[in-house]
Structure 1
Amino acid sequence: MTLAIALTCGLVIAAGGAAEDMHFSIEGVPANGLVGVPVVSPVPHEASPGSFALQAVGDERVLPAQLVPALGGKGVELCLVVLPGDADLAGQPLRVRRPADPVAARFRFEEDTVRGVLHLFEEGKPVLDYCFGMQLKEGVPENRRRACYAHPIYGLDGEAITDDFPKDHYHHRGLFWGWPDMDRDGKSVSIWDLRGVEQRFDKWVGREVGPVCAQFETDGGWYVDGERVADERVCFRVWPADEVGRALDVYLRWTAVDKPIVIHGQKQENKGYGGPNLR
């Protein structure tokens, strides 16, 4: 099922925060859906992030909406969740407006600068931790130290559903990304099992929380023998949980600094694994 939002007129938000109306129509939402459907649309005009609401003409229902920076790019995107009871609004013109009263955010961040961990909560319940600082479990070899991955990721009952530093594969680390076979200027390295290359966090690009989603972006890099060989952009967008689960969008971008980096999946026995991985 393809989801799309058709833009029928523009949105302009002045520096002072005043907004002109913007109208959308939602297409492709299942009429008999059982869970909420996350919907995203680019906004082609200059706008500032913030909380909004969508309302059909002649209908009292209000859909919370949120403008957030586009993942990994320029501009902003409009995010909302269409609940099963609101699927009949598909195809109707929806007016975007600022709510009369402030809208409470469902999410909040807590940063632990000592441990190098960013905690994300939804209505007081843990959602995930992003490990931006170097991590090393007691008793694990020094060469397994790492950063830039998500762990723990929590289930709907608050249970951790990922693992870190498992004894059978010390290099496995929650939700991470890497390749076991990489070549840079004739040197073989591997982000997958932390051999000869290191991921490092540079800075936070941005963080957003609101009634619809939470989002954070970071800049970092890959280092070989202390030399920065690639830039890394990491973006997470986290949607509200429902009785079935939670949607999580992840955007990753890597740019070689000067010389090309060749990446492969695991060549041994043609296993082919590599890239994003969840332990």
Structure 2
Amino acid sequence: MSFRALLTAALLLIAGPALADPAIGKRVDAVFADDAVTLTEAGKTVLVYRTKPLDPAAEPGRANYVGQLYAPDGTALTEDKPGDHPHQRGVWWAWMKVQADGKTVADGWYMKGLTYFVRSKTFLGDAEGGGTLTIDADWMINSGPELVYIASETTKVTVRPQKAGEKAGSRRVEFDTTIKSRVNALGLGGSEDDRGFGGFSIRLVEPEKLAFSSGGKTIVPNGSAITAGANMGFAWTDAASPAWAVGLACKANGQAITRWMLYNDRSMQNCVFPGRAPLVLRKDETLRLQETLVIRPVAKKKAP
């Protein structure tokens, strides 16, 4: 089967939630620590959600994100704080322009002037064998003499149970984030150049070995934001790389995001929202971001 077909198959799994198969006997659970929550399935790590920075003095903004994401066989699929772009995280959402009442006060992308205080973290399993981690966090500006509360956030991370049968071994992870403005005007904007990248991003391992596909077509990164379909597929082309394909779909306020910032060199992958011009939320207005990741096994020839 071609990589395009494999990517398409991974994307098709995004269409609906996976249902549990009683024969598998696996359940999603959570392990809580002071600085992180680890979601597991049948005792194996699915992802690690960082709720506090490892080094608060040096990097107070490195929190409220997924540091590690794993395939069902335990293969690490993401990098956190890679040497080439140490500000990048495993799976995260951030914007270079964070504004309060028309003034840029922080850069969440490079973790300057913004930190997060996680107020609560809870986990609830469901009848199908999956589970949802809920994180409630406050956005605090720390670039001035006093902390300024600018937004509240609730993020839900749902891990669907694996299935038996035709789609055995696939994993589905859903993110649902609501950001509420706590100032008169909260602005969120991407990079100042024509790429305008910002929003939900994922730093996959070995990006230089990735192939991209959307809507059944091969996508070739070109250094600019690319308009493609509502789903994007990623697969590693090297036999020694992860034997998995990843499908990603993103929405903002219920609308599919179709602009993508893709890299075949050492960097992240991003569904671009809202672009260079900031989205402005009036006080108590909300922005809802939804993303679905599907991880699917890929049969590969063994490396020589």
TM over 0.5, yes or no?
yes
Give 1:247's aligned residue.
Answer: 172
Letter in 1 for 2:140: Y
Give 2:195's aligned residue.
Answer: 271
Structure 1 gap segments, 5+ residues each: 1-32, 41-78, 84-98
Q: Is 1:132 matched up with 2:51? A: yes
2:19 counterpart SS class: strand
Q: Once the 2 structures are TM-superposed, how far is the Cα of residue 256 of structure 1 from its aligned partner?
A: 0.9
* Mapped contact 2:18–2:172 kept (Cα < 8 A): no
Give 1:230's aligned residue.
Answer: 151
Give 2:256's aligned residue.
Answer: none
Q: What is the CA–CA distance in structure 2 between the aligned matches of 1:111 and 1:221, rounded to whole Å? A: 19
Task: Spell out the pairing of 1:1-279 with structure 2 (5 A cutoff).
Answer: 81=19, 106-113=27-34, 116-136=35-55, 142-143=58-59, 145-185=61-101, 186-225=103-142, 226-241=147-162, 243=168, 245-268=170-193, 270-279=194-203
* Mapped contact 2:68–2:76 kept (Cα < 8 A): yes
Residues 144 and 81 of structure 1: is their aligned pair in 2 closer, same or farther, counting only changes over 3 Å? same
2:83 counterpart SS class: coil
- TM-score, normalised to structure 2, is 0.54
Q: What is the CA–CA distance in structure 1 between the aligned matches of 2:134 and 2:66, rounded to whole Å? A: 13
Residues 104 and 172 of structure 1: is their aligned pair in 2 closer, same or farther, counting only changes over 3 Å? same
User: What is the number of equivalent residue pairs in this alignment?
Assistant: 185
> Bigger radius of gyration, 1 or 2?
1
2:88 counterpart SS class: coil
2:59 counterpart SS class: helix
Letter in 2 for 1:237: T
Cα RMSD for the two superposed structures: 3.1
Residues 130 and 210 of structure 1: is their aligned pair in 2 closer, same or farther, counting only changes over 3 Å? farther
* Mapped contact 1:38–1:80 kept (Cα < 8 A): no
- TM-score, normalised to structure 1, is 0.58
Q: What is the CA–CA distance in structure 2 between the aligned matches of 1:195 and 1:212, rounded to whole Å? A: 39
Structure 2 gap segments, 5+ residues each: 1-8, 204-304
